[in-house]
């Protein structure tokens, strides 16, 4: 399994990224009085009229920066149009606040440069923008296959983080819809300190063995909804990090990938609680994990994960379909002291059905110091699809109840 805890590492470098973004905003080219204004008549900035070329080879970074400067500086409804074609770009820092409401219409494809020396942090980073819309049928292609061999995070913890594809920092009342995120160098989408975000009808696509290519990661965010989205990647399809509240995940298909995860929790000091999480009407296909909550046994933070509800979930040969892992320790970098500071409580699983690729369809591996409480299972009917073993559940230090479940799984 890839080093999933790198999700928490990203939080550690966000302040640096934000500073870089702020400086980039100061240095970003202002809209030229003639060309940009003429190309943005009616509130629409067509990047091809600002010098962008859709041949997939010519660097179109400057045209996109100019379009952003004009759109963000305009009042009312503003649109950046990316027409059909393939547009190569380096890192893009789109920083607000903006005077009006900006829509980025992605009809064509943006291709990330494979020259890592160009990047200080991420590929496309959008910072402090309200009422942002990113929509269309085009692609954000991270061109990850060219650089995945530079990823050393499976071998060492203090590895160099490759650029994430789309990073939304401090974005309020935003929407991302219709687009495809393809082959990111690292995470496909990272949502940090955002409020009231809707991500819908999005496709994320990368091979199952691509390193650390999480589909959508979020942290310290409130009111995020992920709806009718298909995710195939090499790490967590969705990872819900510390400080996430009021999260709604509905109609998501995950696989390949490492499942829909809460955590990892407790890696750093001063992490905030995770609460009010709902995952409904989702399908997990051949993912290495299903519904997962993971926390470090030697957690550095005192925090709680609570009010978590899973309902109407279909497993199609998913590994570890239901797993609470309070002894999470990737690459053996933690101390197995058992002195967990993470509390998991009030977690419900309702109508979880299908097949498991592992005999352990349910694994509730809670801390002996702080047991999991209020865990309920109702209508959990997941069976091992293999023939060399039987369906089973492993429950340690978990307290709750089970009704209407396969008898093999009623371990509470």
DSSP conformation letters of 51-120: T--TEEEEE-HHHHHHHHHHHHHSSSEEEEEE-SSEEEE--EEEE---SSEEEEEE-SEEEE-S-GGG-S
pLDDT of residue 296: 87
Question: What is the rounded CA–CA span in Å between residue 61 and residue 390?
Answer: 56
| Domain edges within the chain | 123-147+161-403
Question: What is the rounded CA–CA span in Å between residue 329 and residue 325?
Answer: 9
pLDDT of residue 335: 63
**Order of strands, edge to edge, in the sheet holding 92-95?**
92-95, 124-127, 166-169, 189-192, 216-219, 238-240, 260-265, 291-296, 322-328, 360-365, 392-396
Specify the DSSP class assigned to residue 228. Answer: S
pLDDT of residue 246: 98
Secondary structure percentages of the chain, helix, strand, coil, to 5: 15, 45, 40
pLDDT of residue 300: 83
CA 211 to chain centre: 14
User: Cis link prior to 97 (omega < 30° from 0)?
Assistant: yes
Specify whether the CB–CB gap between 259 and 291 falls below 8 A. yes
pLDDT of residue 301: 87
Helix or strand or coil: residue 241? coil
Residues 6+ apart with CB under 8 A from 271: 242, 243, 265, 300, 301, 303
Dihedral sign from CA coordinates of 46, 47, 51, 54: negative
Residue 66 CB burial class (10 angstroms; 0-12, 13-18, ≥19): buried
pLDDT of residue 239: 98
Residue 45 CB burial class (10 angstroms; 0-12, 13-18, ≥19): buried
What tokens appear for 286 in the block?
A: 């051949």
Question: What is the rounded CA–CA span in Å between residue 230 and residue 363?
Answer: 26
pTM for the model: 0.90
Q: What is 123-147+161-403's CATH number? A: 2.160.20.10
Can 23 be counted among the known catalytic residues? no
Give 381's strand partners: 353
Extract the residue ranges of the chain whose pLDDT is less than 70: 1-39, 157, 331-339
Give me the torsion for CA of 140, 143, 144, 145, rounded to 10°. Answer: 140
Among 23, 188, 217, 258, the active-site one is 258
pLDDT of residue 382: 97
């Amino acid at each position: 399994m890839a080093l999933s805890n790198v999700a928490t590492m990203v939080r550690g470098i966000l302040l640096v990224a934000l500073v870089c973004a702020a400086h980039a905003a100061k240095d970003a080219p202002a809209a030229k009085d003639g060309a940009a204004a003429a190309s943005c008549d009616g509130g629409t900035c067509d990047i091809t009229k600002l010098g962008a070329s859709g041949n997939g080879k010519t660097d179109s970074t400057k045209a996109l920066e100019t379009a952003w400067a004009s759109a963000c500086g305009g009042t009312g409804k503003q649109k950046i149009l990316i027409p059909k074609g393939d547009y190569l770009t380096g890192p893009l820092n789109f920083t607000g606040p903006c005077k009006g409401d900006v829509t980025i219409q992605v009809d064509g494809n943006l291709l990330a440069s494979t020259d890592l020396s160009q990047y200080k942090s991420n590929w496309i980073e959008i910072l402090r923008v309200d009422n942002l819309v990113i929509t269309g049928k085009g692609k954000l292609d991270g061109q990850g296959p060219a650089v995945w061999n530079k990823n050393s995070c499976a071998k060492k913890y203090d590895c160099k983080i490759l650029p994430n594809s789309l990073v939304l920092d401090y974005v309020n009342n935003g929407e991302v819809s219709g687009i495809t995120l393809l082959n990111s160098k690292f995470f496909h989408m990272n949502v940090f300190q955002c409020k009231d975000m809707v991500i819908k009808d999005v496709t994320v696509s990368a091979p199952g063995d691509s390193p650390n290519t999480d589909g959508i990661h979020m942290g310290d965010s409130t009111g995020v909804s992920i709806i009718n989205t298909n995710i195939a990647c090499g790490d967590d399809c969705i990872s819900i990090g510390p400080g996430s509240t009021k999260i709604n995940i509905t109609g998501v298909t995950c696989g390949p990938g490492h499942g829909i995860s809460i955590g990892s929790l407790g890696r750093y000091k001063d992490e905030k609680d995770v609460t009010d999480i709902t995952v409904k009407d989702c399908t997990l296909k051949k993912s290495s994990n299903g519904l997962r909550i993971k926390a470090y046994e030697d957690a550095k933070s005192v925090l709680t994960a609570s009010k978590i509800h899973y309902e109407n979930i279909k497993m199609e040969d998913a590994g570890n379909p239901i797993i609470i892992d309070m002894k999470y320790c990737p690459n053996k970098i933690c101390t197995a002291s058992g002195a967990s500071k993470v509390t998991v409580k009030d977690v419900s699983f309702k109508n979880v059905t299908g097949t498991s690729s592992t005999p352990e369809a349910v694994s509730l591996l809670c801390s002996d110091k702080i047991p999991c409480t209020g865990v309920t299972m109702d209508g959990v009917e997941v069976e091992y699809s293999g023939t060399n073993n039987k369906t089973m559940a492993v429950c340690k230090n978990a307290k709750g109840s089970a009704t209407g479940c396969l008898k093999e799984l009623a371990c509470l």
